[in-house]
Structure 1
């Protein structure tokens, strides 16, 4: 559980950095940035899997596809669900739609919690229920304020839970499955990078893009790899609730990129931030209880040793 929590937090922090990182990739547009992100992430992801001894997962999925040709259809669908989200993640801030995308990430955890409770029969603690109530208030206010849900918001909130749910169903919820998600989109990435637009000549004019793309690949592999692993180690409810750290960071990144939060929008973000705070408090209390239990066990063990020594 703790490993999953740590991976989820690491992923959220990395995604927050990536949202702001798009500034270093100018003058690449969203399609070009997406293409180079895919091309640069694969090598770093492969290195990460090699260091963890997980390269065999790639071969295992290939063997399944060769034995079950229909399984290839799922791999293609999985790749589409995953990579379109990655494209939207970059497209949003570049095109001034960062807050709409971040609202999708606000709504996403609620959908994940709903799936966890309905399909997996997972239980909620009192702290988690309170966090959900606050989150519902914040998201509900934003939907009421706008009067509708932007397509970016709806796609993030619905497609990602479907993606994670189906990954568990088809048993590809590991780094090997994610590797194939990226590998299958490589032809599209090559087209966008070298045929749709001549980014090589653009990089020649702006040489800083070489280091920027390398950094993009490293951060993407770190963040996405951690996120995928966290989804495997954590229950759906916990995984969903921890995802609230990400939209908080995305909202801050959007503000730093020049987007502004109006007075009425604060009624959306404040309840969400309070929900995240409740989860932090619950996690801290849980860690303190665990530490106290460990200390009690040590004290009891020491007392037992002393008694045995006296009896002897």
Structure 2
């Protein structure tokens, strides 16, 4: 029981850290997203090695990794997919679009449900069907009024769901997988940084030291919640993780509206309302299942 409580606390803390990330990116307004992503990838590698040392979790040797080439390939693909999601996320964070990022994470479970149906042949419950329909109505309402799709939100939500699907096909543990995703992409990131430095077009590498450190700091800042999440996942249930994942976009929503004064008009209120209603239905269904499961365990 204590282990599960610790897992719940770690999971909640990880989502709180993710939710507060916009506060960090406010120090990098109009940042060069290419430089930011490349530096994050490069410095994620030493950060992950340091974290593994602190947690006393040795990474597998190269020979062991090469035995599972499928997982290596999937780790590389997962890293590329995550780059797209992070690119959209960091652009939103640094260009006054925190509300769009919040929407992206709110609709992510709907994309995950769709992928589970198409690729894993899972069957939807009634609540999940309603959530998908309400999500489509919410996005459709925005398109109808604004005349354009919320591209940033859709890219974030869909690619993060694809990332989760790829992770299901990686047989390495969570810490090894995250380290590999960065390590496999690091040569590409280093090549890009070298090219922009020689070409003289790099914003970050020619910036003052404090700005450069903020770019580099994006690696540990974004890895910290991931580590706490990895520590939590084996100590708590996936149901609890699923229920707590809405902490992140909720905090981002509050920061966007209250602190950053982003516009939350009637159209967005209706759109978010449809999506929230669908998520509430799924949450209630998950809670009822958890309560029934506990009752069966107590009676058996």
Shorter-chain TM range is 0.7 to 0.9
Which residue of 1 is the match for residue 141 of structure 2?
Answer: 144
**Correspondence 1:265 to 2:268:** yes
Change (3 A) 1:71 1:41: closer
1:23, 1:151 → 2: CA distance?
A: 21
**Deviation digits for residues 249-288 of structure 1, max 9, x if unmatched?**
22233333342111232233356667778959x97xx89x
**Which moved further from structure 2: 84-93 or 221-230?**
221-230
Give the Å deviation of 1:27. Answer: 6.1
Q: Which runs of 5+ in 1 are unaligned?
A: 295-312
| Residue segments in structure 2 that go unaligned for 5+ positions in a row | 197-201
Given candidates 38, 41, 47, the residue that maps to 2:41 is 38
Cα drift, residue 49 of structure 1: 1.6
Q: Distance in 2 between matches of 1:121 and 1:4?
A: 27
Contact preservation (8 Å) 1:37, 1:217: yes
Go from structure 1 to structure 2 and tell me whether the alpha carbon gap of 1:188 and 1:87 turns closer, same or farther (over 3 Å shift).
Answer: farther
- SS of 1:45 mapped into structure 2: helix
Q: In the aligned structure 2, how far is the partner of 1:135 from the partner of 1:156?
A: 17
Q: Specify the alignment match of 2:220 in structure 1.
A: 218
**Aligned CA distance change for structure 1 residues 230 and 267 (closer, same or farther; 3 Å):** farther
Using the TM superposition, give the Cα deviation of residue 102 of structure 1 relative to its aligned residue in structure 2, in angstroms. 2.8
Residue pair 2:111, 2:158 contacting (<8 A) in 1 also: yes
Q: How big is each residue's C-alpha offset from its partner over 1:35-77, in whole Å with a ceiling of 9 and x where there is no partner?
A: 23223333332222222222324x3xx4355335555432321
Structure 2 residue corresponding to 1:199, chosen from 196, 204, 207: 204
CA distance in 1, matches of 2:57, 2:123: 29
Q: Tell me, in whole angstroms, the C-alpha distance in 2 between the residues paired with 1:50 and 1:34.
A: 25
Q: CA RMSD in A?
A: 4.1
User: Residue 31 of structure 1: CA displacement?
Assistant: 1.8
Deviation at 1:79, TM superposition (A): 1.4
TM-score normalised by structure 1 residue count = 0.70
Change (3 A) 1:143 1:46: farther
Distance 1:248 1:271, change over 3 A: farther
Matches for 1:251-290 after TM superposition, within 5 Å: 251-255=253-257, 256-270=259-273
Structure 1 residue matching 2:267: 3-state secondary structure: coil
Matches within 5 A, 1:31-110: 31-57=34-60, 59=61, 62-67=62-67, 69=69, 71-110=71-110
In the alignment, does 2:254 pair up with 1:249? no
Distance 1:71 1:171, change over 3 A: closer
Answer whether contact 1:117 1:123 (CA < 8 A) is retained: yes
Q: Deviations over 1:124-164 (max 9, x none)?
A: 8x9xx5x9957864663243222364333333232222322
Question: Which residue in the other structure is 1:22 paired with?
Answer: 25
Alignment-derived partner of residue 302 in structure 1: none
Quick one: distance in 1 between partners of 2:180 and 2:28? 25
